[in-house]
C-alpha cells in the first residue's frame, strides 16, 4: 500500500503514482498506436484533473499528439431530453444517466480517431445553459492518444435482480415502478457497451464509498461559485444531495465491479488521496 499522496500536489511531486502512470501510458502507446484510454470514476473523483495532467505531460514532454474529451460533452440538448422524458420517463429530463448522451456520436468520433482521420470536430457541452455549445473543438491532424473521461465508462449493465428495490428517495418517489432505471440500464447494455469495447485500456478512480460523492460534488460547486463565471447558477447543498441520487445505483455498482475489469485502479480516500494502486505496470 502506498503512503497517502494528495492529488492536488501531484504536479509537484515526482513520487506521485500519476507520474508513474505517465510512463505506463507511454508503454501502452508503444504497443497500441493509435491508443484510446477511458478514465472512469464518480463525480468529483478527479477524472478531469488526471486527463489534463496526462495531456500536458505527454504533449509537452514526449511530443505526442494527445486529446482529452469528456462524456459530458455528448449530452443531449434540453429539448432532446424533454422528448425522451415524454416518451419514456420524466427523470430523463435531467442529464446524467445512460440514455441522455449522444452516444452514437461518441462512437463515430472514436472510430474516426482509430482510422487516423485528420479532420475532426468534437462537441462541447455548456453546463451553464445546459445545452450543447456552438464552440466545437477542431482537430486538423492525426492523434496519437485519445482520452475519454466519464463517470460511467466501462460499466456493465445491471442484472434484473440488481434493479429491484429503491436505492434512495428519488427512486422511491419518482421511479417506484422501475421504468427509468430499466430504461437507462437497457441503454447501457446496448449502445454504451459498443463504445466501451473500443477502449484499449480503462482506468478507474475508486471512491471509498458513495457517501463521499455528494461531499466531493459540493466542493466542486464551491469552486465554481468562486470562479469568474457570473452566469453560473450555484446549486445548494440540498440540490446536490438530490442530484447525486440520479447516479447512486450505478455508482455503487461500479465501486464493486469496475476494479475487477479496469486495467488500472487508483483507490482514493475521502480526501481524494491515493491510498493504493492496482495494475499500474499491467501491459497487454
Find cell 451553464 and name the residue. 128
Q: Cell numbers 461531499 label which residue?
A: 215
With bands split at pLDDT 50, 70 and 90, how would you rate the model's confidence at 4? very low
What number is the average pLDDT over the span 194-205? 97
Structural domain includes residue 181: yes
CA atoms within 13 A on the CB side of 245: 19
Q: In this structure, is residue 138 part of a structural domain?
A: no
Tell me if 174 is assigned to some domain. Answer: yes
Does the pLDDT at position 180 exceed 90? yes
The DSSP call for residue 10 is G
C-alpha cell at 105: 456520436
Counted domains in the chain: 1
**Structural domain includes residue 110:** yes
Is 171 among the domain residues? yes
DSSP string covering 54-106: HHHHHHHTT---EEEEEGGGGBPPHHHHHHHHHHT-GGGGSS-STTSB-HHHH
Residue 25 lies in a domain: yes
- For 123-126, the CB contacts below 8 A with 24+ separation are 123/73, 123/74, 124/73, 125/70, 125/72, 125/73, 125/74, 125/75
What per-residue confidence (pLDDT) applies to 62?
82
The Cβ-side half-sphere exposure at 34, using a 13 Å CA radius, reads 22
Task: For the chain, give percent helix, strand, coil, nearest 5.
Answer: 45, 15, 35
Average pLDDT rounded to a whole number, residues 250-254: 96
Alpha-carbon span 224 to 98, nearest angstrom: 25
Domain that holds residue 56: 5-73+103-116+143-278
pLDDT above 50 for 108? yes
Estimate to the nearest angstrom the gap between the alpha carbon of 246 and the chain centroid: 15
* Count of other CB atoms within 10 angstroms of residue 31: 10
C-alpha dihedral over 72, 78, 83, 88, to 10 degrees? 50
Give me the CATH number covering residue 206. 3.40.50.300
Answer whether residue 233 shows pLDDT above 80.
no
Judged against a pLDDT cut of 90, whether residue 232 lies above it is answered with no
Check: CB of residue 16 under 8 Å from CB of residue 268. no
In a domain, 84, yes or no: no
7: exposed, middle or buried (Cβ count in 10 Å: 0-12, 13-18, 19+) = buried
Q: Can you tell me the mean pLDDT for 239-246?
A: 92
Mean residue pLDDT across the chain: 89
Domain annotation covers residue 39: yes
Q: How far apart are CA 130 and CA 110, in angstroms?
A: 24
Say how far apart CA 41 and CA 46 lie, in whole Å. 8
The residue written with cell numbers 482537430 in the block is 139
Residue pair 102/75 in contact by the 8 Å Cβ criterion: yes
Per-residue pLDDT, 118: 80
pLDDT value, residue 281: 60
| pTM tops 0.85 | yes
Amino acid at each position: 500500500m502506498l503512503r497517502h499522496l494528495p492529488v492536488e500536489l501531484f504536479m509537484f511531486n515526482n513520487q506521485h503514482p500519476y507520474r508513474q502512470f505517465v510512463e505506463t501510458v507511454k508503454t501502452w502507446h508503444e504497443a497500441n498506436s493509435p491508443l484510446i484510454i477511458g478514465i472512469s470514476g464518480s463525480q468529483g473523483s478527479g477524472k478531469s484533473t488526471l486527463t489534463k495532467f496526462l495531456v500536458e505531460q505527454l504533449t509537452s514532454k514526449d511530443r505526442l499528439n494527445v486529446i482529452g474529451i469528456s462524456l459530458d460533452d455528448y449530452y443531449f440538448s434540453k429539448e432532446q431530453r424533454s422528448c425522451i422524458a415524454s416518451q419514456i420517463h420524466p427523470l430523463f429530463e435531467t442529464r446524467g444517466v445512460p440514455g441522455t448522451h449522444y452516444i452514437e456520436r461518441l462512437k463515430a468520433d472514436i472510430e474516426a480517431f482509430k482510422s487516423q482521420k485528420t479532420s475532426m470536430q468534437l462537441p462541447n457541452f455548456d453546463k451553464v445553459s445546459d445545452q450543447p455549445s456552438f464552440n466545437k473543438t477542431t482537430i486538423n491532424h492525426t492523434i496519437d492518444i485519445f482520452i475519454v473521461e466519464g463517470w460511467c465508462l466501462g460499466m456493465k449493465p445491471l442484472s434484473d435482480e440488481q434493479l429491484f428495490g429503491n436505492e434512495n428517495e428519488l427512486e422511491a418517489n419518482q421511479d417506484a415502478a422501475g421504468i427509468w432505471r430499466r430504461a437507462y440500464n437497457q441503454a447501457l447494455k446496448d449502445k454504451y457497451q459498443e463504445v466501451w469495447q473500443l477502449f484499449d485500456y480503462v482506468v478507474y478512480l475508486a471512491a471509498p464509498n458513495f457517501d463521499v460523492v455528494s461531499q466531493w460534488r459540493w466542493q466542486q460547486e464551491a469552486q465554481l461559485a468562486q470562479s469568474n463565471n457570473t452566469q453560473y447558477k450555484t446549486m445548494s447543498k440540498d440540490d446536490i444531495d438530490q442530484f447525486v441520487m440520479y447516479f447512486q445505483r450505478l455508482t455503487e455498482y461500479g465501486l464493486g465491479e469496475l476494479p475487477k475489469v479496469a486495467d488500472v485502479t487508483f483507490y482514493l480516500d475521502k480526501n481524494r488521496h491515493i491510498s493504493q494502486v492496482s495494475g499500474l505496470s499491467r501491459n497487454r
